[in-house]
Structure 1
Amino acid sequence: MSILITTATSAQAYKLKNKLNNPDILLGDFSDLPDFMVKSMGLLKLPNPASVSYQHEMLTLCLDNGIDTVYVLTGQELELLRESALLFKEYNIDILDGQIEI
């Protein structure tokens, strides 16, 4: 299983990635990412938290990519995902505040 760290375009994401030191870490961001970053660096394009179906889109993304832990680095995303924590827990996916880990 894999770990997802959000806000891939931030230094915090890379700091957390280095701290966790796990080979199965994926980075993703909902902001516009250049194609070369997505293709060459393997970054995931995440759903926009402004979407009304954000939680379900994130759950689908996690299930499709074998993600069992999500470290969230922005308050808006964290708030929305925590609202659906029970749903994610049903699929054995943990939602964690990445700011605490840094």
Structure 2
Amino acid sequence: MKILITGGKSATALKLLKAFTEHEMVLADYDEVPSFSSAAYRFVSLGAKNEDTLAHTLLNNCLDENVAAILPLHDFEIEALAKATILFKEFNIEVLLPNQGDLMQYLNSKKSTNWAVFNHGNLIFATEPNETLIALAQATHLNGAYYVSEDDGQLNLALITI
């Protein structure tokens, strides 16, 4: 499967590549991007940032690159893509974000060294996988990349953004 991660020039995007070792990866970012590629990924430019046309720009790039899924990392992309999920699905492109109705509970600044990636409730990768995390993901059909922390035995998830 081919997956596009936005914020491709960031250390966060490069860190998330660990979750997708079995996939073809495209790291995308706005304006200029490095002109090299590796066996694990390649860079593409999304052009100049225009917040009025984010979903359209990202959809066009996903179609041009023939990707099956997109993982947005820029905080300014999250809401626009959450609203456009149905449009992306019409083109068989999975948006790796929580449902729009659940989005606000995962938008917080709580970062952790532990993180996990989910697709429709399935754990794709976790720095510290455990049964509680897997059960929560399946029960809530989690989608996306999250920082994972624990306070008094309670799991806390925060959407990974840059």
TM-score, normalised relative to structure 2: 0.53
- Residue 100 of structure 1 aligns to a residue whose secondary structure is strand
**Residue deviations 1:48-80 (CA, integer Å, cap 9, x gap):** 553422211211111111111011112211111
Give the gaps of 5 or more residues in structure 2: 98-143, 148-159
Aligned to 1:7: 7
Aligned to 1:60: 60
Aligned to 1:100: 146
- Residue 92 of structure 1 aligns to a residue whose secondary structure is coil
- Residue 53 of structure 1 aligns to a residue whose secondary structure is helix
Closer/same/farther in 2, CA of residues 78 and 47 from structure 1, 3 Å limit:
farther
Aligned to 1:20: 20
Deviation at 1:81? 1.0
The alignment status of 1:86 with 2:86, answered yes or no, reads yes
Task: Determine which structure has the larger strand proportion and give its number.
Answer: 2
Q: Percent identity?
A: 32
CA contact (8 A) 2:68 2:94 kept: yes
Tell me the matched-pair count: 98
Give the gaps of 5 or more residues in structure 1: none
Closer/same/farther in 2, CA of residues 20 and 92 from structure 1, 3 Å limit:
same
Closer/same/farther in 2, CA of residues 23 and 72 from structure 1, 3 Å limit:
same
CA contact (8 A) 1:2 1:24 kept: yes
Within 5 Å, give how 1:37-48 maps onto structure 2.
37-38=34-35, 40-41=36-37, 42-48=42-48
Give structure 1 regions of 4+ aligned residues with deviation exceeding 6 angstroms. none
In the alignment, the residues of structure 2 paired with residue 23 and residue 69 of structure 1 have an alpha-carbon distance, to the nearest angstrom, of 11
Aligned to 2:32: 32
Deviates more, 1:14-23 or 1:4-13: 14-23
CA contact (8 A) 2:51 2:76 kept: no
In the alignment, the residues of structure 1 paired with residue 60 and residue 32 of structure 2 have an alpha-carbon distance, to the nearest angstrom, of 20
Looking at both structures, which has the greater relative contact order when contacts are Cα pairs under 8 Å and sequence separation is at least 6?
Answer: 1
